[in-house]
Amino acid sequence: NAGVTQTPKFRVLKTGQSMTLLCAQDMNHEYMYWYRQDPGMGLRLIHYSVGEGTTAKGEVPDGYNVSRLKKQNFLLGLESAAPSQTSVYFCASKQPNQPQHFGDGTRLSIL
Amino acid sequence: DAKTTQPPSMDCAEGRAANLPCNHSTISGNEYVYWYRQIHSQGPQYIIHGLKNNETNEMASLIITEDRKSSTLILPHATLRDTAVYYCIVRVPPPGGATNKLIFGTGTLLAVQP
């Protein structure tokens, strides 16, 4: 049982490039989340989804887009990467009224 | 939204109980208290949660005061592998019934000493 898997684990981008982070869960969870974590700070919610085909904005959505075309996958896109988006990105999933399960993160550096 | 306050760091001797405090004085009646931890370079790990009563599981105990304005996470026999940042989180009620988002603060860095 893999749980929550994030791909890739590490990536370096140049300013202006685009990329997509993939989150996959095999627990049939309804809800999925994307967070970012910066040095010395807690996690901040970027976007979340309450089901296949739905997405909603979190605390810090600007500069990111998301899609949930399949229940098990939640994609986070950066259309034009900026150095301020250098961070560790965490994905999580859960069932209603249950705790969130987190992946091990994607470390993204933008030069 | 209810806010939590935690000390930035604590030390604990290996084998002793670690007691991590959290203040959440603006908590509302239907909000749960959740505890997560994050070991270096890993994703957050769920520990325990509660509403009013004290809770215990295989990892820890959660003590919530009667007025619910504060709580304490207890690790009964801390080991070196318990060194991590511990987050106390109050679950935010969903606007429009969407979902219950977690808002993470900066947490408490627990350092278990040999």
Tell me the per-residue pLDDT of A72-100, one tens digit each, with 9 for 90 and over.
999 999 999 999 999 999 999 998 878 88
Query: Could you give phi then psi for residue A84, rounded to 5 degrees?
Result: -65, -10
Q: Give the model's pLDDT for residue A96.
A: 81
- Is pLDDT above 60 for A1? no
Q: What is the mean pLDDT of chain B?
A: 89
Q: Give the model's pLDDT for residue B91.
A: 79
Tell me the per-residue pLDDT of A31-79, one tens digit each, with 9 for 90 and over.
999 999 998 778 889 999 999 999 999 889 999 999 999 999 999 999 9
Cα–Cα distance measured from residue A102 to residue A79, given in angstroms and rounded to the nearest whole number: 24
Among candidate residues A83, A90, A99, the one with its CA nearest the CA of residue A14? A83
CA distance B75 to chain A (A): 19
Query: Could you give phi then psi for residue B97, rounded to 5 degrees?
Result: 70, 30
Contacts of B86 in chain A (CB under 8 A): none
Among candidate residues B30, B82, B39, the one with its CA nearest the CA of residue B60? B82
Closest partner CB to A42 (pick from B41, B42, B104):
B104
CA distance A62 to chain B (A): 18
Q: What is the mean pLDDT of chain A?
A: 93
Contacts of B99 in chain A (CB under 8 A): 31, 48, 50, 96
For residue B84, how far is the Cα from the chain centroid? 12
Structure tokens at B45: 């790990």
Provide the pLDDT confidence category of residue B76 given band limits of 50, 70 and 90: very high
What letter would DSSP give residue A3?
A: -
Contacts of A43 in chain B (CB under 8 A): 44, 102, 104
Contact with chain A for residue B46, Cβ under 8 A? yes
- Output the CA–CA distances (angstroms, integers) from residue A30 to A11, A49, A94, B83, B88, in the order listed: 28, 8, 6, 32, 24
Structure tokens at B89: 């989180």
Tell me the per-residue pLDDT of B2-40, one tens digit each, with 9 for 90 and over.
589 999 999 999 999 999 999 999 888 888 899 999 998
